[in-house]
A and B are shown apart, each in its own frame.
Chain A
Amino acid sequence: ERADRNLPLNFAADSARVDDLRQVTVLSGNVEISKGSIVIRADQVEVRQSPDGYQFAVATGGPGKRASFRQKREGSEEFLEGEAERLEYDARADTVKLVNQATLRRFRGSTLADEVAGSTISFDNTTEVFQVLGGPASPVASGRVRGVLTPRDAKSSSATGSGKP
């Protein structure tokens, strides 16, 4: 079972502040962290290391920008892209939570398949389930949730053959 959780978390940034005592690393400036199939880009990412060695990252987009995350499986040409003011990535549970002005898009190849927007979106990378919650910080004016889901047509679904377990 290819869980991303057992893969190393790579990071790159303009500068970093490592607090060795509290095991907190603050990366700032063009930050990119990647672990397995998930890549997060943001202006600042704070990576906290739990005693048992798993990372918990909080990415913020910085003034006027949003943090983004992208999830792409090898072998499948489907991939997900999400953006929000703040991303919370829990490497142990392998989940990404998009908070405030959250949008999530699924692409098949280069065409946009699904798109949802809301105040908070949480995405479970293992089960590939995402949940959208409305709220004041939703990009949708009424604070509700909006989404467009495109049915998978016969040709492409067999091509990907990534049927849910």
Chain B
Amino acid sequence: MGVAADEAEAPFADLTPLAPLAVRGTPARAEHGPWTRHLWDRLLNAVPVLLMALLAAVTWWLVKNTPVPGEARPKAPPQHVPDAVMHGFSLNSHDREGELLTRLDGDAARHFPDTDTYEIDGPRVRRVDAQGRVLVASARSGLSNGDGSQVRLSGDARVLREAVGADRLEFRGEQLEFFTRTEQLHSSRPVQVLSGRGELQAGSLDYDHLQRVAQFGGRVSGVFRPPGTKAAEPTDGEGAQASGKKK
């Protein structure tokens, strides 16, 4: 086979030898191409390093922000925001024997945790006292403390002591504070009192239902109706607007 090799050599003599395909250690393409490729290649080499740096940064940030279990986060300042809303609700409070003492109804109520108060739309309070007398209160809006022992009635506020005939007593005012547990009524705004025997207007009121004594301040005026005349029954009923009595 040897002799064939020379002819084999001769015809190849005019060919130029190719560059070696890949030589270990020197990048094959690096030497040829514009400088941007050169930069790009450097960058590619840097990518793993960048990744590692990013990873380290993230873990550092993570450590920084994880809350230390012991450290108390600053308590958010209590905003006056309701945490519970009730519609068409009824709150009943009973005495030890289970007798119904006070019942608070309303169209809607919003409970505010920061002041532990209820804002009530259309409150209606019904309270039965020890002697079985019934006190009924209503208003356009009400503000009651947590256990309903104090209800501030605002807007056409009325407290009516239900009784037959002359014993009937109704307090009306722009704002009445009704202390349901101690059965007291207070108002520092003008009030009107309608009873079976007459009427009275005053600048302020303090009524203690237990002793059934009312103290009126500010200029007081009123009338005792002569016996026998039917007490002018004000238009009753839940929200009926009573006509202002022109004396």
Contact = CB atoms under 8 A, between A and B. Distances in A.
A8 B224 contact: yes
Interface string B34-45: 000000000000
A52 interface: yes
B212 A16 contact: no
Contact of B224 (A9, A14, A19): A9
A12 B227 contact: no
A7 B224 CA distance: 9
Given A16-B202, A18-B200, A53 B221 contact: no
Nearest to B166: A53
Secondary structure of the A side of the interface? strand
A6 B227 CA distance: 7
Contacts of B211: 19, 21
Interface in A24-49: 27, 47, 49
Contacts of B166: 53
Secondary structure of the B side of the interface? strand
B223 A15 contact: no
Nearest to A17: B215
A18 B193 CA distance: 11
B222 A52 contact: no
A88 to B, nearest CB: 17
Given A8-B224, A11-B223, A16-B202, A21 B215 contact: no
B214 A10 contact: no
A15 B220 contact: yes
B216 A17 contact: yes
Contacts of B229: 8
Given A20-B212, A20-B214, A21-B212, A14 B226 contact: no
> Which has the most chain A C-beta neighbours within 10 Å: B193, B217, B220, B225?
B220
A18 B223 contact: no
A68 interface: no
A6 B226 contact: yes
B84 interface: no
Interface string B191-223: 001010110101000000001111111111111
A11 B216 CA distance: 13
B211 to A, nearest CB: 7
B226 A18 contact: no
Contacts of A10: 221-223
Given A16-B202, A19-B213, A53-B197, A27 B226 contact: no
Interface string B163-203: 00010010000000000000000000000010101101010
B228 A19 contact: no
Given A18-B213, A19-B212, A52 B227 contact: yes
A103 interface: no
B212 A12 contact: no
A7 B228 CA distance: 11
A5 interface: yes
> Which has the most chain A C-beta neighbours within 10 Å: B198, B217, B219, B226?
B226
B176 to A, nearest CB: 16
A112 interface: no
> Which has the most chain B C-beta neighbours within 10 Å: A8, A18, A55?
A18
A10 B199 CA distance: 10
Interface of B: 166, 169, 193, 195, 197-198, 200, 202, 211-229
Interface of A: 5-21, 23, 27, 47, 49, 52-55
